Structure 1
Amino acid sequence: MENNSKKFYERRSIRLPDYDYTQESLYYITLCCQHRLKLFGEVVNSELMPNAAGKMVEEEWKALTTRFPEIRLHAYVVMPNHFHAIVEMCSTEQMDSKNEKSPTLGNVIAGFKSIVTVNYIRGVKELGWQPFDKKVWQRNYWEHIIRNDQAYQKITDYIIENPIYWKEDDLYT
Structure 2
Amino acid sequence: MSNYRRARAPGETYFFTVNLYDRKSDLLVREIDLLRESVRSTRARHPFYIEAWVVLPEHMHCMWKLPPGDNDFALRWQVIKFAFSKRLRAVEPRTVNQRRRAERGIWQRRYWEHLIRDAQDYQQHFDYIHYNPLKHNYVGRLADWPYSSFHRAVAMGIYPEDWCGRPSDDTGDFGEYGF
Q: What TM-score range do you get, normalising by the shorter chain? A: 0.5 to 0.7
Q: Secondary structure at the match of 2:114?
A: strand
Q: Where does residue 58 of structure 2 map in the other structure?
A: 81
Q: Determine whether 1:109 maps to 2:77.
A: yes
Equivalent of 2:23 in 33, 36, 46: 36
| Counterpart residue identity of residue 12, structure 1 | S
**Structure 1 stretches lacking a partner, 5+ long:** 1-10, 42-49, 93-101, 125-130, 169-173
Q: Secondary structure at the match of 1:15?
A: coil
Q: Where does residue 26 of structure 1 map in the other structure?
A: 13
Q: Which entry has the higher C-alpha Rg, 1 or 2?
A: 1
The answer to whether the Cα contact below 8 Å between 2:16 and 2:113 also exists between their aligned partners in 1 is: yes
CA pair 37-108 structure 1, distance change in 2 beyond 3 A: same
The answer to whether the Cα contact below 8 Å between 1:39 and 1:54 also exists between their aligned partners in 2 is: no
Q: Where does residue 12 of structure 1 map in the other structure?
A: 2
Q: Where does residue 149 of structure 2 map in the other structure?
A: none
**Structure 2 stretches lacking a partner, 5+ long:** 95-104, 139-179
1:12, 1:164 → 2: CA distance? 34
RMSD between superposed Cα atoms in Å? 2.2
**Higher RCO (C-alpha under 8 Å, 6+ residues apart):** 1
Matches within 5 A, 1:43-82: 50-51=29-30, 53-69=31-47, 71-82=48-59
Percent sequence identity is: 24
2:76, 2:17 → 1: CA distance? 13
| Counterpart residue identity of residue 77, structure 1 | V
CA pair 13-30 structure 1, distance change in 2 beyond 3 A: farther
| Counterpart residue identity of residue 26, structure 1 | T
Indicate the structure with greater strand content: 1
The answer to whether the Cα contact below 8 Å between 1:22 and 1:89 also exists between their aligned partners in 2 is: no
Equivalent of 1:149 in 119, 129, 133: 119
1:137, 1:55 → 2: CA distance? 17
How many residues align? The count is: 128
The answer to whether the Cα contact below 8 Å between 2:51 and 2:65 also exists between their aligned partners in 1 is: yes
1:152, 1:120 → 2: CA distance? 34
